[in-house]
């Protein structure tokens, strides 16, 4: 409602476990084809394509065509809305409580 569209899209897209798993595999791989994503998943190729379409529309992945293959890669700016949201409400969080800092310490620069 009050929130902007991007955070809506990112949150909704990453909420589904299967689709999030696809995104995680794309992130871990430099580039990965739909076929590779389909192997090692328990859903059909069509479902993978549908998830990739959602991820692409949310700005989380990008594609590169090469003949019959389509290589997907993570889109750097895609997680920006989520980071911004975390930053915003994380700050409020931090101001009221004192626990988030220890969590952030585990993140290596």
Partner DNA sequence: TCCATAAATTAGTATTGACTAATGCATTAG
Partner DNA sequence: CTAATGCATTAGTCAATACTAATTTATGGA
Give CA separation, 21 vs 13, 28, 50, 53, in Å: 11, 11, 14, 14
Kindly state whether residue 69 participates in binding DNA, applying the rule CB under 7 A: yes
DSSP H or E run through 43: none
**Residue placing its CB nearer to a second copy in the complex, 65 or 96:** 96
Kindly state whether residue 29 participates in binding DNA, applying the rule CB under 7 A: no
CB of 3 to a second copy, least distance (A): 6
Query: Minimal CA–CA distance to 37: which of 53, 59, 15?
Result: 53
CB of 64 to a second copy, least distance (A): 15
Contact track, DNA, 47-66, x by CB under 7 A: xxxxxxxx--------x---
């Amino acid at each position: 409602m009050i929130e902007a569209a991007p955070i809506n899209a990112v949150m909704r897209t990453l909420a589904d476990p299967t689709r999030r798993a696809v995104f995680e595999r794309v992130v871990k791989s430099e580039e990965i084809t739909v076929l590779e994503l389909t192997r090692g998943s328990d859903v059909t190729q069509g479902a993978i394509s549908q998830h990739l379409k959602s991820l692409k529309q949310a700005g989380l992945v990008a594609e590169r065509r090469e003949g019959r293959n389509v290589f997907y890669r993570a889109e750097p700016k895609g997680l920006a809305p989520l980071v911004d949201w975390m930053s915003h409400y994380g700050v409020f969080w931090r101001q009221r409580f004192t626990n988030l800092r220890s969590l952030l310490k585990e993140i290596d620069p």
